Amino acid sequence: MNDRVFLDTNILVYSYSATDLVKQKIARKLVAENLSYISTQVLQELANTLTKKFGNTWKDTQKAVVESGKNNLLHVNNQDTIANACDIADKYQYSFYDSLIVSAAMSCNCTTLYSEDMQHGQMVENKLKIVNPFI
């Protein structure tokens, strides 16, 4: 597949988690089989989750962040991304941080946003479909 997809933080977290091997396999397959994008926000949230929730060392967390940056295309959030996130939050009633993920995905011209946390099947601006890959 060569679909242009965006991965929410929870997808990357599962790819590094040994607590749910089924979700880990699905998450890793998404990265391997698609043209996948992440944002600087996703890397920041991944680092926070791996250290706070899973107790990883900073060295192990750094390896995961570097690996994720190499395995996915990286969008650097900028002023336009943030301004668009405000519009998305207002229109779709997502939290600001979820809206920032949606905005980054749209900036990368992705057609699919994989996320466990947002409304499965919702279309945003008739351009981006939110898909929970675990259901």
CB proximity list for 5: less than 8 A, separation 6 or greater: 30, 34, 35, 36, 37, 110, 111, 112, 113, 114
Query: What ranges in 1-57 are assigned the alpha helix state H?
Result: 9-16, 21-33, 40-52
Inter-residue contact 98 to 124 (CB < 8 Å): no
Domain that holds residue 26: 4-131
Q: CATH no. for residue 61?
A: 3.40.50.1010
Query: What pLDDT is attached to residue 3?
Result: 76
pLDDT in tens, 92-113: 999 999 999 999 999 999 999 9
Q: Are strands 73-75 and 4-7 parallel, antiparallel or unpaired?
A: unpaired
Give the model's confidence band at 30: pLDDT under 50 very low, under 70 low, under 90 confident, else very high.
Answer: very high
Which pLDDT score is estimated for 77? 97
> Per the structure, how many domains does the chain have?
1
The string of pLDDT tens digits covering residues 38-93 is 999 999 999 999 999 999 999 999 999 999 999 999 999 999 999 999 999 999 99
* pLDDT at residue 1 tops 60: no
